[in-house]
Structure 1
Amino acid sequence: MLSRKCPWPSACVQFGRGYDSRDTYTDRTLYLSERTGETSDANTLYVASARVANEHATRSADVTKKWSENVYRDPLPSSDFRIKKKIIHPGEVNRVRELREGVVVTHTDHPNLFLWDIERQPHRKDTSSKGVESNVPDLTLVGHQANAEYAVESAEEGKIIASGGKDKLVLIWQMEDYETLLSSKNSHLLNRTILRGHSDTVEGLAFNPEDSRRLCSGGDDRCVFFWDSRKSAATGKINDAHQGDVNCVDWSHNGMYIASGGADHRIRIWDVRQLSQSSEVTSFADLREHTGQINEVQFQPCRNSSVLGSCAEDGQVLLWDIAQVESDSKSSTGGEIPSLLLFRHYGHQYAVSEFQWSTVPDDPWTIASVSEDEEGATLQIWRLLDLIYSSPVDAANILRSEGM
């Protein structure tokens, strides 16, 4: 639906909780980063508003616009995409997670995590001046002994934050009284829990959506660990989960499945109910349609959904329906369009850094994705056509209602 070229590379994109819905469109809050490297321009965290057409409410101007009308360079009217706030970040933003509406935590190339209350932060119009000072975070989360760059997640509306890093640790911070923390003179918060087990960098984390005391982590040691934050040792472990680094993990919203993505270009699905620390575990689905290392896996945020999304260095975002594995005795191994593959998004030309499903309950099939291109980045917001995910009967009814 929307595509926008950004002047600098971006490693992350996230929908915010804020949105304003009208008859034909919804204004969605987006968090986006700019990674400026060694230039004089500052690394920036953007808070933006993107106008997304509601389902079945496409504008005629969008349908008739031709590709020759410079669509790639400036595809959106100014009213469709605008920057609401710029925050100069101390270092490049590798990951951003919204804890509650307007409050985010960021990962950078540093041991510390930074927490930002967007309303409290000043808007920085000039980010290109040499030597410009960074914004000061509202709270700094300390505890890592080495850089913690990518693995970060939250639970219970941001009251719990977990992070992994090059120190091979998983750390957990408790944020029970956020306002008290911000009003105190102490702007640093030490982690409450340390989970030890990994023998190399922790790259990905995911909480159990049904129990925030349980979480899993994946790392460069090729392992996936399972944790209970009340216990010092791991409650489960998958050795050699991938033939290379485990880059990302996610936990399905019904609590039954774990997805892991690796540097081996593969996505593997594990049944949590079959896991124990002493048993030999095998994945029940091994998805091999990507041709580059996996950067992100994420289950659709609906309790009854069996759909998984993935993005990779090959420039693709793929959507899978793992419920099909119950009717297929064999998992996907390539070839024609495999039965688990629901949709293939070819909109990006370069490696897709990150994607995220819509968090609006009435719009579960909209996705934001960002790629790091040879020059800059490309942000896209797109929605799956309802004919693709509907049952044959529902699809036929949709076509009849459209007069087809």
Structure 2
Amino acid sequence: MKKERAKVEEVSTTEEKYAQWKSQVPVLYDWFANHNLVWPSLSCRWGPQIEQAVYKNKHRLYLSEQTDGSLPNTLIVANCEVVKSRVAAAEHIEHFNEEARSPFVKKYKTILHPGEVNRIRELPQNSKIVATHTDSPDVLIWDIEAQPNRHAVLGASVSRPDLILTGHQDNAEFALAMCPTEPFVLSGGKDKSVVLWSIQDHISISAAADQGSTKSPGSGSSSVKQDSKVGGDSTTMSPSIGPRGIYQGHRNTVEDVQFCPTSVQEFCSVGDDSCLILWDARVGFNPVIKVEKAHDADIHCVDWNHHDENLILTGSADNSVHMFDRRNLTSGGAGSPIHKFKGHSDAVLCVQWCPDKSSVFGSAAEDGLLNIWDHEKAWKAKERIGTRTRSTSPGLFFQHGGHRGKVIEFHWNPSDPWTIISVSDDCDTIGGGGTLQIWRMNDMIYRPKEEVLAELEQFKSHLNTCK
């Protein structure tokens, strides 16, 4: 009875916060779209921009659908129209239906995925190629354009991946990354290992096979794999490739991995052992730097700054985000975060640096919030207040409160500045399914203060002229 009462109170509080947020949408956002999902999505990613028009651009979206087993799990490819900056009227973005599908999001293709789609990552060199993590040891590679469109009906055979990456000895469900500079894939799993592959190996091997030549030394092994977990029916076979390296150093499940933005050989990983580990493939398979207590609990996520390769973010079940400077870390494992960001009341599930400003990043958590931070503002606030305490979290300058369930993942749009896609699992809050939201905050929130004040003064003068 107490649990039921607590549940009712929690839902009531969530709805009150949501109503308050919704009333502020016309002021806080330059553009906003809400898309109701029948099934929860565990991952969301922007694909390539495919069309440009006067008032909006069209982008690909990659989403997952986690079903209850009555229908196959799916990898969804959608087309999304993103309204350009300062085009949408406040009245337009204010009126949206939480229970409806957005007219800006149209399903383009459905791939019947073998098992849950826990993570989706696109290849930077060709964003039509994506990797997925599922509830098995293998990583699956998909050529989105080559895959046939399927219908998710009971009993349908699953789609065939274009390539299977083998090497894990236990399920690898969440830790997945693509290299920014080369077609390399990185993964972590329950076997406590970090595994590295090159998709280029497969391309080279295929080309060599066509010419009747043999595989060059040092590249991963390739074969044709038949697997009931992956292939669906017994007649389905997909090519597979072995790893370039397997890296051991964690004592528990590896939860996330990330490449250094400027190096194919350097990468990092975090896990349920609370460790942050830096690796360098050029010096072997053991950790180069291991921070033993990077957080006080499991670490769920990590991201490496693309503008400053010394800065690394981690998010944890201790509700905080830590920022590390790798120049302060030593091979002996010494080193502490240069800043701790505390603005969530529940476990942080996703952190990601903003591609448009080097000091800005986002963090999403089980508390239903997606926080936007600026670490430069955090440092300035720290210098300003000294030892005095303050009520707000230093560096936090925007909170997206549009989700009523835990925010599983978000992704900054790499080609449309300050535009974000985010997904939440609403099964525990508003009766099931999930919510996809595409949004861009009002640019007056993040632009330089002097610039904004000058614009407002100019607008004031314009109004006086109109009178």
Under a length normalisation based on structure 2, what TM-score does the superposition of the two structures give? 0.80
Matched ranges for 1:207-226 at <5 A: 207-226=259-278
2:404–2:426 contact (8 Å) kept in structure 1: yes
Cα displacement (A) at 1:45: 0.4
Match of 1:396 among 444, 449, 453: 453
The corresponding residue for 1:57 is 87
The corresponding residue for 1:275 is 329
Match of 2:136 among 104, 107, 110: 110
2:181–2:262 contact (8 Å) kept in structure 1: no
Counterpart AA for 2:422: S
The corresponding residue for 2:404 is 349
RMSD value over aligned CA atoms? 2.1
Cα displacement (A) at 1:275: 0.9
Match of 1:228 among 280, 297, 311: 280
1:285–1:331 contact (8 Å) kept in structure 2: no
Counterpart AA for 1:241: A
Structure 1 residues not aligned, in runs of 5+: none
Match of 2:58 among 18, 27, 44: 27
| Counterparts of 1:61 and 1:182, CA distance in 2 | 55
| Counterparts of 1:290 and 1:333, CA distance in 2 | 21
Counterpart AA for 2:38: P
The corresponding residue for 2:28 is none
Task: Please state whether the residue corresponding to 2:417 is helix, strand or coil.
Answer: coil
Cα displacement (A) at 1:281: 1.1
Task: Please state whether the residue corresponding to 2:445 is helix, strand or coil.
Answer: helix
Cα displacement (A) at 1:309: 0.6
The corresponding residue for 1:296 is 350
Task: Please state whether the residue corresponding to 1:212 is helix, strand or coil.
Answer: coil
Q: Is structure 2 residue 96 aligned with structure 1 residue 43? A: no
1 or 2, which has the higher helix percentage?
2
The corresponding residue for 2:365 is 312
Structure 2 residues not aligned, in runs of 5+: 1-31, 210-222, 225-238
- Cα deviation 1:280-327 (Å, max 9, x = unaligned): 31111111110110100111124x511011000000000110112433
| Counterparts of 1:53 and 1:400, CA distance in 2 | 27
Match of 1:151 among 175, 192, 198: 175
The corresponding residue for 1:286 is 340
Counterpart AA for 2:340: D
| Counterparts of 2:52 and 2:43, CA distance in 1 | 24
Task: Please state whether the residue corresponding to 1:389 is helix, strand or coil.
Answer: coil
The corresponding residue for 2:8 is none
**Stretch of structure 1 that moved more, 183-192 or 173-182:** 173-182
Q: Is structure 2 residue 262 aligned with structure 1 residue 238? A: no
Cα displacement (A) at 1:23: 1.4
Residues 395, 293 of structure 1: CA spacing in aligned structure 2 closer, same or farther, 3 A cutoff?
same
| Counterparts of 2:277 and 2:120, CA distance in 1 | 23
Residues 204, 270 of structure 1: CA spacing in aligned structure 2 closer, same or farther, 3 A cutoff?
same
1:371–1:379 contact (8 Å) kept in structure 2: yes
Cα displacement (A) at 1:334: 8.4
Task: Please state whether the residue corresponding to 2:391 is helix, strand or coil.
Answer: coil
The corresponding residue for 1:197 is 249
Counterpart AA for 1:214: E
| Counterparts of 1:28 and 1:349, CA distance in 2 | 26
Matched ranges for 1:354-369 at <5 A: 354-360=409-415, 363-369=416-422
Q: Is structure 2 residue 44 aligned with structure 1 residue 13? A: yes
Cα displacement (A) at 1:347: 0.6
Residues 55, 147 of structure 1: CA spacing in aligned structure 2 closer, same or farther, 3 A cutoff?
same
Task: Please state whether the residue corresponding to 1:388 is helix, strand or coil.
Answer: coil
Larger radius of gyration: 2
| Counterparts of 1:332 and 1:348, CA distance in 2 | 35
Match of 1:338 among 393, 406, 424: 393
Task: Please state whether the residue corresponding to 2:152 is helix, strand or coil.
Answer: coil
| Counterparts of 1:334 and 1:296, CA distance in 2 | 27
- Cα deviation 1:59-83 (Å, max 9, x = unaligned): 57725x646xxx1122522xx2111
Counterpart AA for 1:255: E
The corresponding residue for 1:167 is 191
| Counterparts of 1:117 and 1:401, CA distance in 2 | 50
Cα displacement (A) at 1:40: 2.0
| Counterparts of 2:310 and 2:452, CA distance in 1 | 29
**Stretch of structure 1 that moved more, 329-338 or 293-302:** 329-338
Residues 75, 157 of structure 1: CA spacing in aligned structure 2 closer, same or farther, 3 A cutoff?
same
Under a length normalisation based on structure 1, what TM-score does the superposition of the two structures give? 0.92
2:37–2:433 contact (8 Å) kept in structure 1: yes
